Structure 1
Amino acid sequence: MDPFSAEGELLNIHNHFHQGQWQEVVDYDTAGLSPENALPARVLSLRAQIALGQAEDVIAEVQGEDEPALIAVGALAQLVAGNESEAVKTAEELAEVASDNATVQVLAGTVLQAAGKSEEALALLSQHQGNLEAVALIIQIHLEQNRTDLALKEVTAARRWAQDSLLVNLAESWVGLRVGGEKYQQAFYVFEELAQAPSTSSVQSLVSQAIAEIHLGRLEEAEAALQKAIEKDPKNAEAIVNTAVLTVISGKDPKDLISTLSSTAPDHVFLKDLEEKSALFDKAATKYSAKAAA
């Protein structure tokens, strides 16, 4: 196979993955790829299987592998399967012995961040050499830390050397949703293009479009996008969460949606946050009810 063609095939798989087209990644014909590209393609396929809820199958498939990238995939699968301590142990070991591996940086970094070890994750990710996925994850971590300034700095730097990259466009849009103002509309254009194009439309892109619509105050359009997302995947946690948020904004009761989320994704961070906020509210309410009783 022409090496330029092979590189293009791998880029197509990458783009499918980052657009949330998991099944397309799994089904992609990689028979003609070179040995150099075969491993990255396999890693993406395994990650797509994890995203499709097949973590246990992935754990079984990579068991006994000695390739750091595949061990990192196994750690991510363990995390998703609920074995956080084992996943973190493997991620920390990989960070010690294979920190220069691009897949290890991203997947071990993901595991460490999910376990609340943000500084360890950033230390590993910062060793990247032009790894756009590592940059994207660094940006996500900074946004979780409410350090929009640092996230914007990473986007600006990446834009200089990867100007036309899909990941850079997506990362810039994530930051734009946090910055606000005219950046809302710019982010919307990126997500809308992905959501509307038949070749790239996915639940992920539809949800992203809806989030931008909500920020722009276009609630009916946001509802339409989320309905499409849920039609595609009724159990998609992010679609359910953002529909619940939109329901509250619209002055309606999200109880049914919360119940659905509890049954489909009981460990979702939204539910944990809601539980914490409810407990704080109840605690505060007791002070006022005690005064009323007195």
Structure 2
Amino acid sequence: MDPFSVEGELLNIHSAFHSGSYQNVIDFDTTTLSPENQLPAQVLQLRAQIALGQYDESLQASDDIPDLSAVKALALHSAGKSDAALQLAQELAENYPENSTVQVLAGTVLQAQGHSEEALALLSKHQNSLEAVSLTVQIQLQQNRTDLAIKEVQAAKRWAQDSLLINVAESWVGMRVGGEKYQSAFYVYEELASAPGTSAPLSIVGQAVAEIHLGRLPELIANSIVLNVLAGKNTEELESQLQQVDPSHALLVDIQEKSEFFDTAAAKFSAKVAS
């Protein structure tokens, strides 16, 4: 069974992980999952911990299970233990090349440490693994082999047309190709932003990059304002910039309406206290 399949019981946790909602993945109740889905879910939860800088549990993972050893290799790399991570990744690639978790996680370590061809060779052994396709496309784009990345995405769409990962991978390719593909990429990130459980910063950054290429400065500034609000940062300067380029922008109108509503409510509260 492909542990990264979006079918069945793993759909929610899988989608949450790949949209960047790592804490939701960690908090996911896996007790109701069938026995065959317990290990894939555990792998996703450990990877979510690694993404948040929490390595302890993954570094202590069992060496008897290839999937967990692959997680350990990723944790070692993320924790700065590059030599140990590379050695383990190469051992796993040699001994368990058909394991889809090994393909993706050992492949990630190999690519991160400059062993791109080894990573691609390992990933090429996948059997309809969405993550293997996604990582392959990333590597090919880094190698400036857009032609190969396009072929990889087109081939995957034959069996995973509506997959989140494939759609996002296609948007990466679109960003590289340019032209009308910028708009297509924007739509992907816009849809991602509206999906339940999605990590807003992830999708907003994607939209912002597309907006830059499309020359839509007001929308880029508006996205930056929302992103700063989510990060708890001051937005006055960005709001001023948006006011200059598009005074009637919907976000500014919304901010003004909410400000006026707050002032009205505050005035009523103050009057009641004064009496």
Aligned ranges 1:58-69 → 2 under 5 Å: 58-60=58-60, 62=61, 64-69=62-67
The 1-side partners of 2:171 and 2:34 are apart by: 34
* Deviation, structure 1 residue 200: 2.2
Residue 225 of structure 1 and its aligned partner are, at CA, apart by 2.1
Residue 83 (structure 1) aligned to one of 81, 84, 109:
81
Code of the aligned partner of 1:26: I
Gap runs ≥5 in structure 1 = 1-5, 236-242, 244-294
Normalising to structure 1: TM-score of the pair?
0.74
Secondary structure, in 3 states, of the residue corresponding to 2:157?
helix
CA deviation map 1:169-196 (0-9, x unaligned): 1111110010000100001001011123
> Residue 13 of structure 1 aligns to which amino acid in structure 2?
I
Q: State, as a whole percentage, how many aligned pairs show the same letter.
A: 64
Whole-angstrom CA distance in 2 between matches of 1:159 and 1:218: 30
The residue type paired with residue 218 of structure 2 is E
- Paired amino acid for 2:159: W
SS of residue in 2 equivalent to 1:160:
coil
* Matched letter for residue 27 of structure 2: D
Aligned to 2:267: none
Q: Paired residue for 1:29? A: 29
Indicate the RMSD between aligned Cα atoms, in angstroms.
2.1
**Counterpart residue number, 2:118:** 120
How many correspondences in the alignment? 230
User: Of residues 165, 168, 171 in structure 1, which corresponds to 2:166?
Assistant: 168
Distance 1:7 1:134, change over 3 A: closer
Instruction: Give the 3-state SS of the residue equivalent to 1:225 in structure 2.
Output: helix
Q: What is the alpha-carbon distance in structure 2 between the residues aligned to residue 230 and residue 54 of structure 1?
A: 25
Could you tell me which residue of structure 1 aligns to residue 138 of structure 2? 140
> Which has the higher relative contact order, 1 or 2, with Cα contacts under 8 A spaced 6 or more apart?
2
Larger Rg: 2
SS at match of 2:32: coil
Partners of 2:59 and 2:76 within 8 A in 1: yes
Which residue type is aligned with residue 151 of structure 1? A
| 1:1-294 superposed matches below 5 A | 7-60=7-60, 62=61, 64-233=62-231
Q: Note the C-alpha offset of 1:219.
A: 2.5
Q: CA deviation at 1:224?
A: 2.8
Q: Please, what TM-score do these two structures have when normalized by structure 2?
A: 0.79
**Aligned partner letter, 2:216:** R
**Deviations for 1:59-90, whole angstroms, at most 9, x for unmatched residues?**
13x1x431000000011011111111111000
Counterpart residue identity of residue 120, structure 1: E
Cα separation, partners in 2 of 1:200 and 1:118, compared to 1, 3 Å: same
